């Protein structure tokens, strides 16, 4: 098992560039199943989740070529409607692939997934959504069996806002017969990126980026080319790293409009930053003060930046309250921050209070999930002494070779077996 050895407390310097967004790339790549024409996606991060998706796509017959960060996919002939259970279980986004196979082949078998470290990840909204399009859903030993002779456009109201369920229903509707209306849809920039590309390829989608999306089904899509948008979550993590280590680093290649609420929180905290359209420069010497934060669906404060922000609050003057509203298991990593010297009290699984500032010390840590994992890397780089981070597979799921990129700005971080 690989782990990171981090010697903290060193100031960082230089420029770090943000890669393409995992949560956009996964969906853009999977959407190749909607056509038999070549589908070219660039700026794809080389991360574990993408590699698993590519394996699943190859497994069902998609031709895949890679040139650096550009993938050319062609779903000319599909050879199976059964998703490899072992890989599909590792990847939450595989349910999207299931929906797409259904559109393409009229049926699909995919495994049931259990809970995961950030809490239960139910699929009830997907199942209700599929049914609204006329899909027959059977639960079998292997998982779910979905089938449909013809998909019919539907009116579907999401009971709660769900990112992947919104994307799954959009992908269902694009080639369905007639009109689809989706209400209470998620508004994430990754959804807008997906729909812009689909529209370029012949789809008729209106309203993406708002809670009301309308789709007129078309007969076919043509292939095309698309560049994945910058990863706003990676960008936010690197900015917090600069603040935590009090380092003049510049984060480039981001889209600052995707982080409006994040910036507004950093302003309230007292962070000294220069934000431009595609970059953010951290100016050392910020006097950080505690604020209360509630995660929220986009455009609110992203749940995926909650862990780095909580780490930042360990260095802010005063008492802060962090309320994680989206997932029910996304605060347990705070126990490890306490082992490092932070003062975090868990009020309930959704809320922690942090008394700051606290000096942090290097410890042996375990990465529970992608985002808490990177938050621990940030804490370790700001801490005094050496930390060992285990289970870094989780970090590799979302961040491309993070140790190489952080080393270039002066971080003392090594990957060892
Ligand atoms: N939910 C249900 N039923 C469903 C689907 C979702 O109750 O059928 C609930 C979830 O349990 C959660 C809430 O709805 O409480 C919102 O979850 P959502 O469906 O929006 O999450 P997701 O689509 O599974 C995506 C990202 C996550 C990110 C969330 C929230 C991808 C592949 N994943 O997950 O990203 O945290 O949206 O923004 O896009 C990550 O990148 O580390 C990550 C976990």
Per-residue model confidence as pLDDT tens digits over 248-258: 999 999 999 99
Q: Specify the residue for token string 């959407």.
A: 31
In short, whether 164's Cβ falls inside 6 Å of ligand 1 is: yes
In short, whether 370's Cβ falls inside 6 Å of ligand 1 is: yes
Ligand 1 atom with least separation from CA of 167: 23
User: Residue 15 pLDDT more than 70?
Assistant: yes
Per-residue CA distances from 31 to 94, 107, 388 (Å) = 12, 16, 39
pLDDT at 41: 98
Percent of the chain clearing pLDDT 90 (strictly above): 90
CA of 301 to the centre of ligand 1 (A): 14
Could you report how far apart the first and last alpha carbons of the chain are, in Å? 6
CA of 93 to the centre of ligand 1 (A): 9
Homologous superfamily (CATH) for 22-227: Enolpyruvate transferase domain (3.65.10.10)
CA of 162 to the centre of ligand 1 (A): 6
* Cα distance between residue 332 and residue 278, in whole Å: 33
Q: Which token pair is 345?
A: 């009290």
In short, whether 335's Cβ falls inside 6 Å of ligand 1 is: no
pLDDT at 324: 98
pLDDT at 34: 97
**Going by CA atoms, what residue is nearest to atom 2 of ligand 1?**
122
Contact status, residue 228 vs residue 20, Cβ threshold 8 Å? yes
Ligand 1 atom with least separation from CA of 127: 8
Q: Where does 19-138 have alpha helices with state H?
A: 22-30, 48-59, 85-90, 94-105, 124-132
Specify the CATH class of 3-19+230-416 in words: alpha beta
Angle between helices 94-105 and 124-132 (to 10 degrees): 20
Q: What does the pLDDT average to over 94-113?
A: 89
Closest alpha carbon to 164 in 226, 92, 115, 258: 92
pLDDT at 334: 98
pLDDT at 116: 63
pLDDT at 363: 98
Identical fold, 3-19+230-416 and 22-227: yes
pLDDT at 88: 87
pLDDT digits (tens, 9 = 90+) for 30-73: 999 999 999 999 999 999 999 999 999 999 999 999 999 999 99
Q: What does the pLDDT average to over 257-263?
A: 98
* Cα distance between residue 139 and residue 118, in whole Å: 25
pLDDT at 119: 73
Active-site annotation holder among 116, 187, 193, 347: 116
Residue of 47, 52, 121, 323 to mutate, ligand 1, most atoms within 8 A of C-beta: 121
pLDDT at 244: 98
**Going by CA atoms, what residue is nearest to atom 10 of ligand 1?**
121
Ligand 1 atom with least separation from CA of 162: 20
User: Residue 178 pLDDT more than 90?
Assistant: yes
Q: What does the mean pLDDT of the chain come to?
A: 95
In short, whether 96's Cβ falls inside 6 Å of ligand 1 is: no
Q: Specify the residue for token string 């989608």.
A: 205
CA of 348 to the centre of ligand 1 (A): 20
116 catalytic per annotation? yes
User: Residue 114 pLDDT more than 70?
Assistant: no
DSSP one-letter code for 233: H
* Cα distance between residue 283 and residue 187, in whole Å: 32
Q: How many angstroms separate the most distant Cα atoms in the chain?
A: 63
Q: What does the pLDDT average to over 356-371?
A: 97
User: Residue 118 pLDDT more than 80?
Assistant: no
Q: What does the pLDDT average to over 234-252?
A: 98
pLDDT at 111: 85
Element (H, E) at 390: strand 385-390
In short, whether 124's Cβ falls inside 6 Å of ligand 1 is: yes
In short, whether 326's Cβ falls inside 6 Å of ligand 1 is: yes
Contact status, residue 369 vs residue 392, Cβ threshold 8 Å? no
pLDDT at 92: 78
Say what the pTM is.
Answer: 0.97
Confidence of residue 113 (pLDDT cuts 50, 70, 90): low
| Least confident interval from 75-89, 188-202, 303-317, 367-381 | 75-89
pLDDT at 392: 97
Domain boundaries, the chain: 3-19+230-416, 22-227
Q: Specify the residue for token string 């199943």.
A: 33
């Amino acid at each position: 098992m690989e782990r990171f050895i981090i010697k903290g407390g060193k100031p960082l310097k230089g420029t770090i560039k943000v890669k393409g967004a995992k949560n956009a790339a996964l969906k853009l790549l999977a959407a190749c199943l909607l056509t038999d024409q070549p589908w070219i996606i660039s700026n794809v991060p080389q991360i574990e989740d993408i590699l698993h998706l590519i394996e699943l796509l190859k497994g069902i017959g998609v031709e895949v070529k890679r040139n650096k960060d550009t993938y050319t996919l062609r779903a000319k002939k599909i050879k199976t409607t059964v998703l490899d259970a072992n890989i599909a279980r590792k990847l939450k986004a595989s349910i999207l692939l299931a929906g797409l196979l259904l559109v393409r082949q009229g049926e699909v078998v995919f495994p049931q997934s259990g809970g995961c470290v950030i809490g239960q990840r139910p699929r009830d909204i997907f199942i209700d959504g599929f049914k609204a399009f006329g899909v027959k859903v059977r639960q079998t030993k292997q998982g779910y069996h979905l089938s449909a002779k013809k998909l019919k456009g539907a009116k579907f109201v999401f009971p709660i806002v769900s990112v992947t369920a919104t994307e799954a229903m959009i992908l269902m509707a694009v080639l369905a017969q007639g009109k689809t209306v989706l209400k209470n849809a998620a508004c994430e920039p990754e959804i807008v990126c997906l729909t812009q590309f689909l529209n370029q390829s012949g789809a008729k989608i209106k309203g993406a980026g708002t809670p009301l999306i309308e789709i007129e089904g078309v007969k076919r899509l043509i292939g095309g080319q698309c560049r994945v948008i910058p990863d706003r979550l990676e960008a936010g993590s690197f900015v917090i790293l600069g603040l935590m280590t009090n380092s003049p680093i510049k984060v480039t290649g981001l889209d600052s409009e995707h982080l409006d609420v994040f910036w507004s929180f950093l302003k309230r905290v007292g962070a000294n930053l220069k934000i431009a359209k595609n970059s953010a420069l951290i100016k050392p010497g910020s006097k950080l003060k505690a604020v209360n934060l509630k995660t929220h669906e986009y455009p609110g404060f992203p749940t995926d930046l909650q862990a780095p922000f909580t780490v930042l609050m360990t260095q802010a003057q005063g008492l802060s309250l962090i309320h994680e509203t989206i997932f029910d298991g996304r605060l347990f990593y705070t126990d490890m921050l306490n082992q490092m010297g932070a003062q975090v009290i868990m009020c309930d699984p959704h809320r922690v209070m942090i008394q700051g500032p606290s000096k942090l010390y290097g410890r042996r840590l375990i990465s529970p999930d992608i985002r808490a994992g990177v938050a621990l890397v940030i804490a370790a780089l700001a801490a005094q002494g050496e930390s060992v981070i285990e289970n870094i597979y989780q970090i590799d799921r979302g961040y491309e070779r993070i140790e190489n990129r952080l080393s270039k700005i002066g971080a003392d971080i090594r990957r060892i077996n």
